[in-house]
Amino acid sequence: MSGNRRGRQKLETCASCGRAVPRGKAVEYSSRTHFTTDLKEDNVTYTGFVDQYYCISCAKHRKIFEKKKQQAQRLKEKREAYG
């Protein structure tokens, strides 16, 4: 079963609720992972990015995914606030 399978996409598990979502509908969110090696000093080691998949409802709830018009408006407000 290698190659493209028409009409069937790989299922991804939502990182929040555990729902199985087709990859085409899932929202991909990459977050940076970091950990400290010493508690007394501030040595922070970044290990890279981790890709997580969310279903639409969880992505909306966490404000990762929203309508394009609302997203553009929010980015515009951030730009005006910072500079």
pLDDT of res. 11 = 94
Query: What is the rounded average pLDDT of the residues 27-55?
Result: 76
Quote the percentage of the chain above a pLDDT of 90.
27
Task: Dihedral sign for Cα 55, 57, 58, 64, please.
Answer: positive
The pTM (predicted TM-score) of the whole model is: 0.60
| pLDDT value of residue 1 | 46
Among the listed residues 5, 36, 10, the one whose alpha carbon sits nearest the alpha carbon of residue 21: 10
